Amino acid sequence: MCVRVRVRPLIFVPVSFMIIMKLSTGANDVAARLNSSGFFRTQGLIGGKWVDAYAGKTIEVNNPATGEVIANVACMGTRETNDAISSAYDAFKSWSKFTAAERSKCLRKWYDLIMANKEQLGELITLEQGKPLKEAIGEVSYGASFLEFSAEEAKRVYGDIIPSPLADRRLFVLKQPVGVVGAITPWNFPLAMITRKVGPALAAGCTVVIKPSEFTPLTALAAAELAHQAGVPPGVVNVVMGNAPEIGDALLASTQVRKITFTGSTAVGKKLMAGAAGTVKKVSLELGGNAPCIIFDDADIEVAIKGTLGSKFRNSGQTCVCANRILVQDGIYDKFASALADAVKNLKVGDGFSEGVVQGPLINEAAVQKVETLLQDAVSKGAKVLLGGKRHDLGFTFYEPTIISDINNEMRISREEVFGPVATLLRFKTEDEAISIANDTNAGLAAYFFSSNVQRTWRVAEALEYGIVGVNEGLVSTEVAPFGGVKQSGLGREGSKYGMDEFLEMKYVCMGNMS
């Protein structure tokens, strides 16, 4: 069953009308502009053709700031996914034979088109995801950077020649694309989570079936339209959306799909990993985090506040690398807590299209309820609310930027991803204690710490059991560095030269009787 399924009306309703009919004035202008942009798509993309769901079903996409319907998009399932896989499989035969330079040119063109439409894509992200426009436009640049980087990396997929132990043999290693890739992505970065996967996949010579989140399919479809305009051949990039388990199962069951790359919850990631076993697919998983952010007594407090704000409140706290537990050393605790409260008080909450807003809505009602539940649990176990702590007066899915203190590792809020604008403070005394608390979790994605002591910097960076460590910095993601986690935060890395390896197989070739 598709969530929020709607049967397509029998009366023909122009897409443009559907988009603007229920929107408020601010979003109206945006919707009208997007209508004429040429990349506002509501159908899936299979084999280079824009298609409706075969049974005609659609699914609503809502503006999280208002709940209003932005569009009705095709709600697809098994049959459409199987066709998308076949298209990708056919396209693989030729795409994998393109020269690296040809693939590079396509990716570069795609990058150029995304950058040329940066503002409008940003507006689309704000419309369906809610983040403030400036942040959304920032995501477009960040997302595009993976295409630019992959275009460059495409030309640097080197093999190896191995010195042979036998005189009459020649040994070498070829790097070849894994094949068709299923890319399943979340709603919190509707563009960047796609380009971070699809960029290196295409650069390596793979073809893809993308399944974007049902909450944010419009950005994915716009990106696919721009890929098409950039000259990416039909079938190389396919997009299906709608019934997540059906699409996921079809991707997992197919022997033609050789790799699943996923960003999302740990629970779904585990299901996909188990499901991939049936056909022994390669799997990359970027799952939930539980990032500690440690403020040592010797930290520069201004740097620490700026870094904590960036890490905790970006995207209203809805990133897997958001600081989830802020550990503050005894000597600086009171000063830090009051400086943080002063800074958080000034974070302007509102519709992402409003001037000066830095905190948008949460993605949906379920997200708000999760924050409420975790907060209630923490307070019932002794946590104190220093700031905020409830839904915002704006109503709907807006939540007040919040700070709570006196948390401990037994509370749910320290064990689960909050995914909301709640900073949780925990007091510690020694470095060893901080490291032990920080590592006491099944997650291992990102960690942060703030200190001006060089020796401590090395010690703590080495001791943290995380895939990513920010030192005196709260925003660390970039296309040139490997992003990914250890423990139950996932497998594999995205971005950087290492991200390419996830889409390549190694083939050892032994040539005998050479003398």
Binding site for ligand ADP (CB under 6 A): 184-187, 211, 213-214, 244-245, 248, 264-265, 268, 271
State how far Cα 270 lies from the chain centre. 17
Nearest to 65 by CA among 398, 392, 401: 398
Write the burial class of residue 10 (CB in 10 Å: 0-12 exposed, 13-18 middle, 19+ buried): exposed
Distance, in Å, from the CA atom of 85 to the CA atom of 282, rounded to the nearest integer, reads 16
> How is 14-53 classified by DSSP, letter by letter?
-HHHHHHTT--HHHHHHHHHHHTTS----SEEETTEEE--
Output the smallest distance, CB 133 to ligand ADP, in A: 22
Given the residues 135, 153, 225, 286, the one annotated as active site: 286
The residue length of the chain stands at 515
Is 515:168 a contact under the CB 8 Å cutoff?
yes
In the complex, residue closest to ligand ADP by CB: 248
Catalytic residue among 75, 206, 320, 322: 320
Shortest distance in whole angstroms from residue 4 CB to ligand ADP: 12
Query: DSSP for 165-229?
Result: SSTT-EEEEEEEE--EEEEE--SSSTTHHHHHHHHHHHHHT-EEEEE--TTSHHHHHHHHHHHHH
In angstroms, the Cα distances linking 207 to 107, 217, 231, 234, 374 are 13, 19, 14, 10, 41
Instruction: From residue 494, give the alpha-carbon distance in Å to each of 193, 407, 498.
Output: 10, 33, 7
* Residue 286 bears catalytic tag: yes
Residue 287's Cβ-count burial label (10 Å; 0-12, 13-18, 19+) is buried
Question: In the bound complex, what is the minimum distance in angstroms from residue 208's beta carbon to ligand ADP?
Answer: 14
CB nearer to ligand ADP: pick between 269 and 307: 269
299 vs 418 by CB, closer to ligand ADP: 418
Q: Which is nearer to ligand ADP, 3 or 173 (CB)?
A: 3
Closest distance of CB 150 from ligand ADP, Å? 21
Least distance in Å: CB of 261 to ligand ADP? Answer: 11
Q: Is there a catalytic annotation at residue 106?
A: no
Kindly state the smallest distance separating residue 400's Cβ from ligand ADP, in Å. 22
The minimum distance between CB 245 and ligand ADP, in angstroms, equals 4
d(CA 199, CA 133): 24
Residue 158 neighbours by CB under 8 Å, 6+ apart: 175
Distances (CA, A) of 6 to 56, 59, 73, 74: 9, 6, 9, 10
Smaller CB distance to ligand ADP: residue 111 or 419? 419
Instruction: Enter the tokens of residue 447.
Output: 């960690």
Measured from the CB atom, is 183 or 295 closer to ligand ADP? 183
**Closest to ligand ADP by CB, 248 or 389:** 248
CB of 186 to ligand ADP, least distance (A): 4
Q: How far apart are CA 295 and CA 393, in angstroms?
A: 32
Residue linked to tokens 């919040």: 402
Separation between Cα atoms, residue 500 and residue 496, nearest integer Å = 7
Between the CA of residue 507 and those of 161, 173, 255, 259, 494, what are the distances in Å? Answer: 12, 5, 20, 17, 22
Residues recognised as catalytic: 286, 320
